[in-house]
Amino acid sequence: MSSMCGGVNRSLKGVGRAGVKACAAVVVAGVVVVGGGAAAWGVDGSWWYGSYGVAEVNAQGADGHGVTVAVIDSGINPRVPMLADADLVVHEPSFCMNEADDAPAAAATTDFFESWHGTNVVAHLVGNGQGYDGQSSVRGISPKARVRFYDDSGYYLPNPDGSFSSLLNCSSVNDVDAVAAAVVQAVDDGADIISISQETGAAAGSDLSVAFAYAIHEGVIVVHGMSNDGVAVLRVNGGVAVQAVGPDLEPATPTARLRDFSHERVVVAAGGQMLVQGDTDTGDWRPLGLAEGSSFATPLVAGMLADVWSVYPDATANQLLQSLIRNTGSEDHELGYDEIFGYGLASVGHMVRAGDPAQYPDQNPLIEPWSADREGFEPSPTAEEIAAGVRPSWAPALSADPSTDPSGKTSGKASGDGSGGTQAGQAPAGAAGWGVGRWVLVGGLGVVGLVLVAGVVTVVVVLTRRGRTVPRPAVPVPGAGVPPQGWPQPQGQPAPGQPAPGQPAPGQSAPGQPWQSSSWVGDGPVQPGQGVQHGDRP
């Protein structure tokens, strides 16, 4: 099997959510395959763990310690064994108002259909591999990461064709888009990375567009799943779009091929025949199953970035993104882009082996400066919105009162342009503004109240993010119209569909394996160029 495709190293992809809409494709309940794709692969649902060499990477200290990953999804069940010892905090209640009783839904719940998707997404980040009755279960790629969970939708049920049906109709709190509200809350709470395994609209100037602009300006990496049917729904300018591939390194679903639309911010990651906890036919948590789609590839990419950031804490978000797209697959190569596999197969091992991301330009390589692409899509958010980095006017005011977050830390975040932002000791009073905001601590501390009374207000801490001095030189001036053919691409980025120097032309491949953990795994912990290696991010 070749390691390159159209000048890039291939990758994997995963599953999404609904409400908005889930990116998960075919769910296999009780380890009985429904729809033959996964059966044809004939591999274990944890195949990706060994292929990525996750155990070896984690043993070298690249395990997500000190990095905060915000997961925005449907509900979550913190009581499943695979999340028993995770550093997991759930924001309560949900950002979803149940239209039936006009009250916010609970984010943490043991109800299977309310929480199956979000639970399995989080497990691919921080799962411990422990199932029910002595069984194994999902292991996470970034076991030491700090996860903050936000529920922004109702719940849904997988259909045989891979789509999802909403079982709870919900509306947004205070008429603000629920995803947008969750994004802003995550930024204010100190997230380093935001992972969204779902599809939703993000038109220019919308609540969601403004929220993403705020996040990216503040130096938060946004990772989101793509549709499994090849339709671009969520196109976050400056964010990482993730598509899923299976064990054969082909798109996990037949229609999920990037060539059907223009999207130049893509990597692929494992997302086909993925082990999941729970039987979606019966609603029983105990059995194991298989699923496929970009929903699970998305947290894997977010976790890879967390792993690398944990050993190179002084790198900026922009530099992490540079490393992500330059170090795909297992072999060193020039930067390239393919119409199906994007920048290639995301590779945590290759990124770690490449060394400190500070060697790369402090510029977000995924920001499209043009006012519209060749298909007429306007980038969202625009480069101008990102450069301005304005906190949305509809977001609740930040409190000047000091407080602590659930982990007991106090701190502040600096804005991406270095102009200040929230100062140390300040915390967002988002709970009062949204009507939500109580934290539920889970993991090693146990679950504290799965059902909360609406209106309870708790001030939440702003966590410090490392290397957060972006986007310094990073935002290009927006141009009018569409990019002309042959126009220079940002920071060494080749024109879409064109190979980088020394790379094969599209449709051709180069020899070698797309990933081999043995090609980079070394002895002992990774030695970062600067900064601390263990402990919390300062």
Q: Which fold, 4-402+429-506? A: Rossmann fold (3.40.50)
| Beta strand pairing call for 128-130 and 24-28 | unpaired
Q: Map residue 183 onto helix, strand or coil.
A: helix
Is 142 tagged catalytic? no
pLDDT tens column, 497-538: 344 434 444 333 332 233 333 333 333 444 333 322 223 333
Is 207 tagged catalytic? no
d(CA 299, CA 126): 10
Nearest to 103 by CA among 458, 460, 459, 451: 451
**What pTM value is reported for the model?**
0.73
> Out of 3, 51, 63, 73, which one is annotated catalytic?
73
Is 307 tagged catalytic? no
d(CA 92, CA 105): 9
**Looking at residue 91, what is its pLDDT?**
94
**Looking at residue 165, what is its pLDDT?**
53
Tell me the pLDDT of the chain averaged across its residues. 69
Higher pLDDT, 63 or 340: 63
For the chain, the domains span 4-402+429-506
Residues 6+ apart with CB under 8 A from 27: 34, 158, 162, 276, 280, 289, 290, 291
> Out of 94, 172, 295, 415, which one is annotated catalytic?
295
* Least confident stretch, 3-17, 46-60, 255-269, 297-311: 3-17
> Out of 65, 91, 117, 350, which one is annotated catalytic?
117
Residue environment code for 279-296, b if the CB has 16+ CB neighbours within 10 A, otherwise e: bbeeeebebbbbbbbbbb
**Looking at residue 202, what is its pLDDT?**
67
Highest mean pLDDT among 9-13, 164-168, 181-185: 181-185
pLDDT tens column, 296-341: 999 999 999 999 999 999 999 999 999 999 999 999 999 988 877 8
